[in-house]
Chain A
Amino acid sequence: MKGTRKRFDVWTNISFLIFAFYILFLALPLFTMLFKSFYNGTTGDFSLAYFVKFFSKPYYTNALFNSIKVTVCVTALAAIIATPLAYIMATVKIKGNSTIRILILLSSMSAPFIGAYSWILLLGRSGVITKFVSNTFGITMPDIYGFTGILVVLTLQMVPLIFMYVSGALKNVDQSLMEAAESMGYSGFSKMRKVLLPLITPTLLAGGLLVFMRALADFGTPMLIGEGFKTVPVLIFNEFISEVGGDDGFAAAISVIVVLFATAIFLLQKFVANRKAFTMSALHPIEAKKKKGIGNIAAHAVIYLYTLIALLPQLYVIYTSFLKSNGRIFVDGFSLQSYRDAFNNIGGVITNTFFLAIVSLVVIILLAILIAYVTVRRKNALTNTLDIFTMFPYIVPGSILGIALLITFNNKPLAISGTALIMIISFVIRRLPYTIRSSAAILHQINDGIEEAAISLGASQMKTFFKITLPMMLAGVVSGAILSWITIITELSTSIILYTGKTKTVTVAIYTEVIRGNYGVAAALSTILTVITVVSLLVFLRLSGQKEVSL
């Protein structure tokens, strides 16, 4: 006697189709990259030559060491700054609490390199603050370029991520746990160290991983502010793009090293996190209480000061976008000249960005719904593999995925490099996880019984999905989709590799204008991008009915 239900149904076919998509556009490019890293194009031999070259020259190994140094420092510093901020926000009633949360979130939603270039304008050799300090006090400010600059920019960019993770975890800590600790004689710092910190450790590990991967992959920041301080993404970009002596194979080899390193960190994190994992849900969450006196003033000061510093680069960019400029130099007085230039010269990039982002988003929503459904509701070997595939974009830095796609689809029969299609594919692969995660999360909350009820009432599988499951999933899908959207329009590291004149996006345009020194136009475009981001974020908060975003 066989089972009463056919396990081979329409969802199996859908799983296979999505699986094929990932094989073609993720597995194949990564495999091609691996292949190229061993293959010598001129002699046709396979060897470890590229790897030997990398590890034998300090120029290259230094870059790897620099990357690790930056990444570790940024992750640690972001956690050290974000955790107290989140704790203060959770326990002390801060005036304008929800606005502050949105502002902090907003500070992480621009492309990091915009922060880098703004800090150069503020603290660079001829930065506003640098000049002000040296003119007024005669003091020469420490150098913002190199390691310090990257650390400042990336840390400010990453703090909001950990801040949101920890805030979420604190919401699940029951007040009674704190009270229990107090009743047993722990108070103040020892209470935090013995009880609160262990409780949020799994969250810190999860947030830390996300920050680690982003910091490792970031390309724009070290490119602009790093000067002599080279990191691996810069190295890969230079090796791949450089007009003289650029070498695909060598770039591929470095990429392989980075991906292996990232995978090792990812697995290590999973191993540690699994051992520390537990679930919490608070009956009585910790409440923000009104504090009095010096504590209250100090808490407000810390929160407001941090928010101001985090937003300073974006605010300054917006300010400069309205300045009159003469060539590359800002002069006194205000004008809309930069906006006119932006629209006249490169207005097409805005249309491009919207076209690419909207098409990508439609594909993302469609795929995410289906992937979330098959991985949550139809667990089998195929969908488990699919689940792992969807996690790859966390590990593979954007510039590396860009290179992998380019070297794979440069030749027939799949010569799609330089087209909008390859841009869309890269956006879809990289930004799908946000929508998948939120869709899967809401699907986990929908009781299996609901679908069984529909089926027991005679509805077909498809009808059950479209009439019952999908309408219930929609809120989760939308909230994830808006995150995907915001991260698509601020994407740089893949686009910079894949773009052509016809598919140039706003972010790429800002980057190239900054490189050329057209700060006015760059500022105007950044401002436009910020406005789009803010509007999207507000729509998100409105639709999801939440006061904050969970990543």
Chain B
Amino acid sequence: MSVTITIKDLVKKYGDTTVIPELSLEIKKGEFFTLLGPSGCGKTTLLRMIAGFNSIEGGTINFNERVINQVEPGKRNIGMVFQSYAIFPHLTVKGNIAFGLENRKLSKAEISSKVDEILKVVQIEQYKDRMPKNLSGGQQQRVALARAIVIRPDVLLMDEPLSNLDAKLRVDMRNAIKDIQREVGITTVYVTHDQEEAMAVSDRIAVMKSGIIQHLGTPQEIYQRPANVFVATFIGRTNIIEGSLTRQASSYSLHFGSSYSEEISNIQLPVSNKQAELNVKISVRPEEFIITEDQTGMKATIVHSVFLGQNTHYFVDLESGQRVEITQESKTAQILEPGQIIYLKVKTDKINVYDATGELNYTRGDQL
């Protein structure tokens, strides 16, 4: 019984400070939706407004047709997983999971069978009668998840559920969460500040900053065609290079400083813009650089290198003095030495070109 969550012109204020100004958003039925952003961007605030733990100062939240602004958290039929897990320490695993069911006037036998069923789904049957303090972090996480979904909620809300786990377990658990969500098919809103985690689990991601959604899209869209420079720098690593763009007959010429230009076709300027030449910000991810063999392209000096196994990262200084990071697949040959001169080109189909303010992406996405 998943629902569609429709958020319209939502406002959150603490006193005179507006944390979320007029935010609108639709989360589809059964979707795994992630709110991603740096700390203080309003993502947890928004999640807690959906849960009912934060008041709403303007706008509406709908679960399907029903406006839930005034509905008590306990009556919204939500399942919530907390950053701290919020496992009841004085109840057993079974007691924790059954807690929500006991508020729903079910028979003992029904509760017991539902608990057993969900324990199987999250794969912790053997810990049924343990006290929480005897569980590892990952197991506690599974209890928290089981407790939230056993009540068959309309919406599953997760607030940074993996941030207290170590790196390896975090990867295991995010896969488990994704699998379980797919299996039970609940509309899920997930909050995280970890962009890799967000990309791994989400159907769609909303990247937030200062209470405003900067980019809403699939993980692929967000990584490859970030809506603005903030999103480009927040998701993955990138180098922002100042450059300019001039119109050609049927395409555009993109200039990186004075010595290097590329022809680029997948550019769409706003119709109102009639300028022949404009200053732009070019976002080039480290893997979007090519080291040329024939000394064409931008001249750069190696500063230092980091060997990471599969890839080798180089930090290089361009002629303009700007330091950029480039990634190359590691070769068996010698790693390039500091001081060595190299020449760089970019993969024109992958890079992104923004206006001078960094707010508008001129690059079209359809030629990926």
Binding site for B on A (CB under 8 A): 1-5, 447, 449-450, 452-460, 463, 467-468, 471-472
Given A5-B72, A452-B82, are A458 and B151 also a contact pair (CB < 8 Å)?
yes
Q: List 13 A-B pairs, Cβ < 8 Å.
A: A1-B58, A1-B59, A1-B69, A4-B55, A447-B82, A449-B82, A449-B84, A456-B79, A456-B80, A457-B100, A457-B151, A458-B104, A460-B74
**In whole angstroms, what is the CA distance A90 to B184 when docked?**
56
Given contacts A4-B54, A452-B73, A458-B103, 4 further A-B contacts (CB under 8 A): A1-B56, A1-B60, A453-B147, A467-B99
Most buried by A among B58, B59, B88: B88
Q: Smallest CB–CB gap between B162 and chain A, Å?
A: 15
**In whole angstroms, what is the CA distance A454 to B74 when docked?**
8
Most buried by A among B54, B60, B82, B151: B82
> Which of B54, B69, B70, B88 is close to A454, meaning CB atoms less than 8 Å apart?
B88
Given A5-B55, A457-B99, A458-B151, are A449 and B89 also a contact pair (CB < 8 Å)?
no
Given A447-B84, A457-B74, are A1 and B57 also a contact pair (CB < 8 Å)?
yes
Complex contact B99–A454 (CB within 8 A) = yes
Q: Smallest CB–CB gap between B156 and chain A, Å?
A: 11
- In the complex formed, the residue of B with least CB distance to A456 is B80
Complex contact A456–B56 (CB within 8 A) = no
The size bracket of the interface on B is: 35 or more
**In whole angstroms, what is the CA distance A449 to B157 when docked?**
13
Contacts of B99 in A (CB 8 A): 454, 457, 459, 467
**In whole angstroms, what is the CA distance A452 to B337 when docked?**
56
Contacts of B73 in A (CB 8 A): 5, 452, 455-456
Kindly state whether residue B331 has any CB partner on chain A within 8 Å. no
Given A456-B74, A457-B103, A458-B104, are A5 and B83 also a contact pair (CB < 8 Å)?
no
Complex contact A468–B103 (CB within 8 A) = no
Contact residues, B288-345 vs A (CB, 8 A): none
Contacts of A467 in B (CB 8 A): 99
Contacts of A3 in B (CB 8 A): 55-57
Contacts of A4 in B (CB 8 A): 49, 52, 54-56, 69-71
Contacts of A449 in B (CB 8 A): 82-86
**In whole angstroms, what is the CA distance A210 to B59 when docked?**
52
> Which of B69, B103, B147, B148 is close to A463, meaning CB atoms less than 8 Å apart?
B103
Complex contact A458–B100 (CB within 8 A) = yes
Most buried by B among A447, A458, A463: A458
Contact string against A for B residues 141-161, beta-carbon threshold 8 Å, 1 for contact and 0 otherwise: 000000110010000000000
- In the complex formed, the residue of B with least CB distance to A461 is B74
**In whole angstroms, what is the CA distance A468 to B95 when docked?**
11
> Which of B71, B72, B82 is close to A453, meaning CB atoms less than 8 Å apart?
B82
9 A-B pairs with least C-beta separation: A457-B100, A3-B55, A449-B86, A458-B103, A453-B86, A449-B82, A456-B80, A458-B74, A450-B86
> Which of A1, A5, A452, A471 is close to B86, meaning CB atoms less than 8 Å apart?
A452
Contacts of B84 in A (CB 8 A): 447, 449-450
Contacts of A459 in B (CB 8 A): 74, 99-100, 103
- In the complex formed, the residue of B with least CB distance to A451 is B86
**In whole angstroms, what is the CA distance A463 to B83 when docked?**
23
Contacts of B60 in A (CB 8 A): 1
Kindly state whether residue B66 has any CB partner on chain A within 8 Å. no
Q: Smallest CB–CB gap between A176 and chain B, Å?
A: 24
- In the complex formed, the residue of A with least CB distance to B90 is A471
Q: Smallest CB–CB gap between B97 and chain A, Å?
A: 10
Q: Smallest CB–CB gap between A463 and chain B, Å?
A: 7
Kindly state whether residue B75 has any CB partner on chain A within 8 Å. yes
Contacts of A457 in B (CB 8 A): 74, 79, 99-100, 103, 147, 151
Contact string against A for B residues 35-74, beta-carbon threshold 8 Å, 1 for contact and 0 otherwise: 0000000000000010111111111100000000111111
Most buried by A among B53, B75, B87: B53
**In whole angstroms, what is the CA distance A460 to B103 when docked?**
9
Q: Smallest CB–CB gap between B60 and chain A, Å?
A: 8
Q: Smallest CB–CB gap between B76 and chain A, Å?
A: 8
**In whole angstroms, what is the CA distance A371 to B51 when docked?**
28
**In whole angstroms, what is the CA distance A10 to B147 when docked?**
27
**In whole angstroms, what is the CA distance A457 to B82 when docked?**
12
- In the complex formed, the residue of B with least CB distance to A5 is B55
- In the complex formed, the residue of A with least CB distance to B151 is A457
**In whole angstroms, what is the CA distance A455 to B84 when docked?**
16
Complex contact B52–A5 (CB within 8 A) = yes
Complex contact A447–B86 (CB within 8 A) = yes
- In the complex formed, the residue of A with least CB distance to B153 is A456
Contacts of B103 in A (CB 8 A): 457-459, 463
Kindly state whether residue B353 has any CB partner on chain A within 8 Å. no
> Which of B52, B88, B151 is close to A450, meaning CB atoms less than 8 Å apart?
B88
Complex contact A472–B90 (CB within 8 A) = yes
Contacts of B213 in A (CB 8 A): none
**In whole angstroms, what is the CA distance A482 to B60 when docked?**
51
Complex contact B53–A452 (CB within 8 A) = yes
Kindly state whether residue B282 has any CB partner on chain A within 8 Å. no
Kindly state whether residue B206 has any CB partner on chain A within 8 Å. no
Q: Smallest CB–CB gap between A442 and chain B, Å?
A: 12
**In whole angstroms, what is the CA distance A463 to B52 when docked?**
18
Complex contact A453–B75 (CB within 8 A) = no
**In whole angstroms, what is the CA distance A3 to B56 when docked?**
5
Complex contact B80–A452 (CB within 8 A) = yes
Contacts of A454 in B (CB 8 A): 88, 99
Contacts of B147 in A (CB 8 A): 453, 457
Contacts of A472 in B (CB 8 A): 88-90
Complex contact B51–A456 (CB within 8 A) = yes
**In whole angstroms, what is the CA distance A460 to B86 when docked?**
17
Complex contact B78–A456 (CB within 8 A) = yes
Contacts of A450 in B (CB 8 A): 84, 86-88
Contacts of B83 in A (CB 8 A): 449
Q: Smallest CB–CB gap between B139 and chain A, Å?
A: 17
Contacts of A455 in B (CB 8 A): 72-74
Q: Smallest CB–CB gap between A89 and chain B, Å?
A: 30
Q: Smallest CB–CB gap between B88 and chain A, Å?
A: 6
Complex contact A468–B88 (CB within 8 A) = yes
- In the complex formed, the residue of B with least CB distance to A3 is B55
Q: Smallest CB–CB gap between A472 and chain B, Å?
A: 6
**In whole angstroms, what is the CA distance A471 to B92 when docked?**
13
Q: Smallest CB–CB gap between B77 and chain A, Å?
A: 8
Most buried by A among B71, B86, B87: B86
**In whole angstroms, what is the CA distance A2 to B59 when docked?**
10
Contacts of A2 in B (CB 8 A): 55, 70
**In whole angstroms, what is the CA distance A288 to B246 when docked?**
74
Contacts of B80 in A (CB 8 A): 452-453, 456
Contacts of A453 in B (CB 8 A): 80, 82, 86, 88, 147
**In whole angstroms, what is the CA distance A454 to B100 when docked?**
7
Most buried by B among A1, A454, A460, A472: A1
**In whole angstroms, what is the CA distance A2 to B53 when docked?**
14
Most buried by B among A1, A2, A456: A456
Q: Smallest CB–CB gap between B22 and chain A, Å?
A: 13
Contact residues, B243-302 vs A (CB, 8 A): none
- In the complex formed, the residue of A with least CB distance to B97 is A457
Contact residues, B86-143 vs A (CB, 8 A): 86-90, 99-100, 103-104
**In whole angstroms, what is the CA distance A458 to B148 when docked?**
11
Contacts of B78 in A (CB 8 A): 456
**In whole angstroms, what is the CA distance A290 to B221 when docked?**
64
Contacts of B74 in A (CB 8 A): 455-460
**In whole angstroms, what is the CA distance A452 to B60 when docked?**
22
**In whole angstroms, what is the CA distance A5 to B56 when docked?**
9
Q: Smallest CB–CB gap between B102 and chain A, Å?
A: 8
Contact string against A for B residues 1-19, beta-carbon threshold 8 Å, 1 for contact and 0 otherwise: 0000000000000000000
Q: Smallest CB–CB gap between A251 and chain B, Å?
A: 48
- In the complex formed, the residue of A with least CB distance to B58 is A1
**In whole angstroms, what is the CA distance A447 to B85 when docked?**
10
Contacts of A471 in B (CB 8 A): 90
- In the complex formed, the residue of B with least CB distance to A464 is B74
**In whole angstroms, what is the CA distance A449 to B85 when docked?**
8
